[in-house]
């Protein structure tokens, strides 16, 4: 399966999905003009990956900021990962947040309460 790589812009995050390594990364700011359009290839890629995932999938989410429309799309990404997890594959979500960013920590905790995958909250200390 081809990796999905999208370079970040001031409005969209950097995306690196690597099926061979089982590593999924979303990093940066997510305030695209059309969130659904931006996240659709990510959800589609995960739908394909779900058919033959690695024994362990590591997910690294390091967002500085995301808007409300992105938040729904990010949830869709997590739901695809949850399906992989439910199929008895190991999925680990690392949620990174800046040390003084309570909002981003809470956002990660909110996702964790919805999605039945354990999250690791990782504080970035500068």
Under 8 Å between Cβ of 110 and 76? no
- What is the 3-class SS of the chain, one letter each residue? CCCEEECCCCCCCEEEEECCCCEEEEEEEECCCCHHHHHHHHHHHHHHHCCCCCCEEEEEEEEEEECHHHHHHHHHHHHHHHHHHHCCCEEEEEEEEECCCHHHHHHHHHHHHHCCCCEEEEEECC
Which CATH number characterizes residue 104's domain? Answer: 3.30.750
Range of the domain at 49: 4-124
pLDDT at 34 over 90: yes
Residues written for the chain: 126
pTM above 0.85, yes or no: yes
Q: At a CB cut-off of 8 Å and minimum separation 6, what does 107 contact?
A: 66, 71
Distance CA 90, CA 70 (A): 25
Locate 101 and state its tokens: 């960013």
pLDDT tens digits along 40-84: 999 999 999 999 999 999 999 999 999 999 999 999 999 999 999
Q: What is the domain count for the chain? A: 1
Residue 126 is predicted with a pLDDT of 79
pLDDT tens digits along 77-97: 999 999 999 999 999 999 999
């Amino acid at each position: 399966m081809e990796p999905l790589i999208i370079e970040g812009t001031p409005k969209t995050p950097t995306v690196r999905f690597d099926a061979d390594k089982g590593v999924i990364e979303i990093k940066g700011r997510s305030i695209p003009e059309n969130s659904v359009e931006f996240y659709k290839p990510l959800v589609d890629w995960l739908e394909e990956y779900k058919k033959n995932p690695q024994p362990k999938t590591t997910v690294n989410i390091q967002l500085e900021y995301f808007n409300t429309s992105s938040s729904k799309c990010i949830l869709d990404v997590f739901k695809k990962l949850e399906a992989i997890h439910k199929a008895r594959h190991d999925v680990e979500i690392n949620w990174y947040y800046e040390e003084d960013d309570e909002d981003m920590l809470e956002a990660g905790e909110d996702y964790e309460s919805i999605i039945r995958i354990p999250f690791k909250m990782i504080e970035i200390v500068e």
